[in-house]
Structure 1
Amino acid sequence: MAKSSGKRFIKLAGMTASIAGKAAKNSLKHLSSDEEKRLQARSELLQDVGIQIADTLGEMKGAVMKVGQIASQYKDVFPAEVATALEKLQKDAPPMPFLQIKSQVERELGAPLDELFLDFEEIPFAAASIGQVHRATLPSNQNVVVKVQYPDVDKNCDSDLKQVRMALKIAGVLNMSRDLQEQLFLEIRQSLEDELDYIKEAQNIRVFGAFHSRDEGIIIPRVISSHSSRRVLTLTEERGESLAIAATWDNDIKQKIARHLFHFTAGQLFGLYRVHCDPHPGNFAFKEDGSVIAYDFGGIKNYSDREIQLFLRFVRHAVSFDVTALEQDLRALGIRREDDSHVPAEFYKAWLDIGMKPLSIPPAFEGEFDFAKSQVHHDVIRQMRSALKYFNQFQPSPMTMMMDRTVSGQYWNLVNLGVKIDLSPLVYEYLNRNEPNRDQR
């Protein structure tokens, strides 16, 4: 890496110390202020802290930048001000010099680059926090893509994560019990470790490829084992168009894409008990027949049968607007705190009215929902502001954290696709397929 471990530590420790000073100053300055002024001051502090963290992490390739990217996707864990600032880390990172990439490939695969490949494009077509992707040609003339992890990126994982966690804690961002903090950061750490292990990702690709092999319209590249290792992953090249291009196509094609994206996630959850949890638009490509190509299987979440049954029960009660049963489901999922405080039925109904609209579930919405004109994300913000007094009764849940990331990501894919579609038949198809009296895998 460009920076030594010592320099990385100093930079992150400096960020933490700076945030600690800001938090202390803010607390003293508004000690005697009224509640409204304190809330406004805290919001301004969080905006400042979020920008500082994003700027610092954005300058540093590797695990720490990936931590920031993962954190930005957990909007139910971090305050909106911090999550929004961290979103800029989702953009492509500057590429690493080719000589370092060449050395990494040769070291990992044990041969000179010109023996391994007939052609290897020096300029990557994608560069991210922990690696970059190059197009290449095998000696057999097969076109492939080669994902190369940056040298030594995995060595700073634990120290980077500890520094980011400390900075967030000092800023008062992690307003939750120590046990819950441990669970959440264990989830983030595991997600990070999984994404750094290309052998595990290769196995994921094989599993998901086999699972979707009969699904027409879902395409998953194949692993080239002879040219893959823990830090280099070579795959068959599967080309498609970007989401921005697909958004210009006719609505009937966009509907096919939307159905494939729905089946991609729901099929995995209820049929495989593991899910591709990084639905960033860059991880998909699209064809004019409505086919979806899926990439990047580093971020996978496995679920137990018990967890899947809880998800199914939650969805059944949500689509039937059964708020009494829904509250018990939220307790079982670890979202509703185990206390005796009262949350009125109207609170849950308001959230259901918002959440069921994109799925075209009556009475929230009926018919084809126009994602291009969706106001659901704005409705969520308004509802959060109007129901702040009940939010202490709820908490982030390690069980649902990755699923929240997946569902919200797919919602934004459909918004950016601009599709008009009724998804309710697909919802009921999966509920009927997984009725309690049917055999479960």
Structure 2
Amino acid sequence: MAKNASSPGRRFMKLAGMTASIATKTVSNSIRNFNADEDQKNESRSKMFQDIGLQIADTLGEMKGAVMKVGQIASQYKDIFPPEVAKAIAKLQRQAPPMPFADIKKQVEKELGKPLAQIFQHFEEQPFAAASIGQVHKATLPDGKEVVVKVQYPGVDEACESDLKQVRLALRLMGVLKVDKKLQDRLFQEIQDSLHEELNYEIEAQNLDVFRTFHQNLDPQIIIPQVFPDYSSRRVLTLSLEKGESIETASTWDVATRNAMGRRLVRALGQQMFFLKRFHCDPHPGNFAFRPDGSVIIYDFGGVKTLSTDLVERFKSLVRAGRQHDIPVIEQHLMALDALAEQGKFPVELYQKWLEVLLRPLTTQYDFAENSAHHDGVILVKKSLKYWDTFKPSPDTLMVNRTISGHYWNLIHLKVDDNLNDLFEELVPSLS
């Protein structure tokens, strides 16, 4: 990447150009469809959202660094975008091209205060993973221990705040944020906090230590890399190399092993949410690896969400009300979570059908490869569309929903076939 391409002025101009173009498209679309009927307006709006979504994805995808990370985080909050936009910017989650090794070497030496050859016995020039704010290299410590070194791209953190403001302005101008101003403020504050934490590898190192200790005491087969603080800093993070197989490989193992790994994933997430009150909130399959003995390795603790005690109790109460099919109590909790606009509007019979679909994978013998709940959910979506404005994206539930649904798909990839009801009861006991 050429240095001038990442300069603040150049980046600002690119983002400002994108914002101006989006504003023009939005106004032109409104004028062009002033006298159109409702169907024509909807079709035109959908086409405009597709174009704008692609434009955002292409612009942010070119601009390695904080702005691409903003786009990735925004794509995680799919609920706040129309589907056309969410689909386009979801591609930002894919890997970025690597940065030249000379820049990486310079960053490591600057952060750790010595020539690279004096710090590591060996350091692979070619990264084995590259993302929006940094890349990962294999290396060997002076004592021969194999490690991985996560290196943040130079200058990423400095651009963060202005990038976020520009992306927010672009989204506001296109009129696609489906939430009011107050809720937008909360959402973008959460995005800003998340970005700030991901850019500080010292925070990730603390997260790794906390989660490693927590899980070691509960289940030694949940494996979390160890931090080497003498080889780490705010922008460099050195971790033990924990080898495992991909989710695709693990899906070919026998059903008993697959079920053990699936249970381990579900239990770990539940224990984090309900007991630790902090959870790993990036369920991308690439953040997990598996071993034939049923062990699960969890990588990348840059994205961690902390839950208040009140919120955890609210979630438990909501789960219990859901299991009892108590619609009035469910709605009370959804209102308190800012997830429901109006009580009594969504039909009771649809609630009942949704509850059956949502609880099926956790309360019955369920073949995740068959994925019946998802297929029935697609049918229910069509029946529920006209009531969709009854529900709102809530900052308190967005990351929880995203993480749970992400792990649901991980269990599908693992082809788990099990009855998880006992695990569900263990994590959120019914009130007797």
TM-score between both structures, scaled by the size of structure 1 = 0.94
Match of 2:369 among 361, 364, 372: 372
Tell me the equivalent position of 2:87. Answer: 84
Tell me the equivalent position of 2:203. Answer: 200
Runs of 5+ unmatched residues, structure 1: none
Superposed, 1:49-60 pairs within 5 Å as 49-60=52-63
Question: Which of 120-129 and 396-405 deviates more?
Answer: 396-405
Shift of 1:247: 1.4
Tell me the equivalent position of 2:418. Answer: 421
Match of 1:37 among 16, 37, 40: 40
Please say if residues 194 and 201 of structure 1, whose CA atoms lie closer than 8 Å, have aligned partners that are also in contact. yes
Please say if residues 74 and 404 of structure 1, whose CA atoms lie closer than 8 Å, have aligned partners that are also in contact. no
Please say if residues 201 and 237 of structure 2, whose CA atoms lie closer than 8 Å, have aligned partners that are also in contact. yes
Question: Which of 316-325 and 302-311 deviates more?
Answer: 316-325
Tell me the equivalent position of 1:273. Answer: 277
Tell me the equivalent position of 1:221. Answer: 225
Tell me the equivalent position of 1:342. Answer: 345
CA spacing shift, 1:77–1:375, aligned 2, 3 Å: farther
The secondary structure found in structure 2 opposite 1:145 is strand
Question: Which of 123-132 and 244-253 deviates more?
Answer: 244-253
Superposed, 1:253-264 pairs within 5 Å as 253-264=257-268
How many pairs are equivalent?
428
The 1-side partners of 2:343 and 2:399 are apart by: 28
Note if 1:312 corresponds to 2:316.
yes
Q: Which amino acid aligns with 1:244?
A: E
The 2-side partners of 1:257 and 1:48 are apart by: 41
Superposed, 1:28-427 pairs within 5 Å as 28-214=31-217, 215-337=219-341, 339=342, 342-359=345-362, 361=363, 366-367=364-365, 369-427=366-424
The 2-side partners of 1:261 and 1:170 are apart by: 40
Please say if residues 277 and 300 of structure 1, whose CA atoms lie closer than 8 Å, have aligned partners that are also in contact. yes
CA-based RMSD: 1.6
The 2-side partners of 1:353 and 1:436 are apart by: 20
The 2-side partners of 1:411 and 1:436 are apart by: 25
Please say if residues 331 and 343 of structure 2, whose CA atoms lie closer than 8 Å, have aligned partners that are also in contact. no
Question: Deviations 1:400-441 (Å, cap 9, x if unpaired)?
Answer: 111112111111211222222222221111122xx669xxxx
Question: Deviations 1:49-87 (Å, cap 9, x if unpaired)?
Answer: 111111111111111111111121222222211111112
The 2-side partners of 1:267 and 1:125 are apart by: 31
Question: Which of 25-34 and 125-134 deviates more?
Answer: 25-34
Please say if residues 267 and 427 of structure 2, whose CA atoms lie closer than 8 Å, have aligned partners that are also in contact. no
The 2-side partners of 1:55 and 1:260 are apart by: 38
Question: Which of 212-221 and 121-130 deviates more?
Answer: 212-221
The 2-side partners of 1:418 and 1:44 are apart by: 37
The 2-side partners of 1:199 and 1:402 are apart by: 22
CA spacing shift, 1:292–1:52, aligned 2, 3 Å: same
CA spacing shift, 1:165–1:376, aligned 2, 3 Å: farther
Q: Which amino acid aligns with 2:169?
A: M
Please say if residues 324 and 345 of structure 1, whose CA atoms lie closer than 8 Å, have aligned partners that are also in contact. no
The 1-side partners of 2:378 and 2:28 are apart by: 29
The 2-side partners of 1:350 and 1:30 are apart by: 38
Shift of 1:148: 0.3
Please say if residues 241 and 285 of structure 1, whose CA atoms lie closer than 8 Å, have aligned partners that are also in contact. yes
The 1-side partners of 2:157 and 2:150 are apart by: 15
Question: Which of 10-19 and 418-427 deviates more?
Answer: 418-427
Sequence identity of aligned pairs in percent? 54
Q: Which amino acid aligns with 1:345?
A: V
Runs of 5+ unmatched residues, structure 2: none
The secondary structure found in structure 2 opposite 1:23 is helix
Question: Which of 380-389 and 69-78 deviates more?
Answer: 380-389
* Structure (1 or 2) with the greater helix fraction: 2
CA spacing shift, 1:436–1:340, aligned 2, 3 Å: closer
Shift of 1:383: 3.0
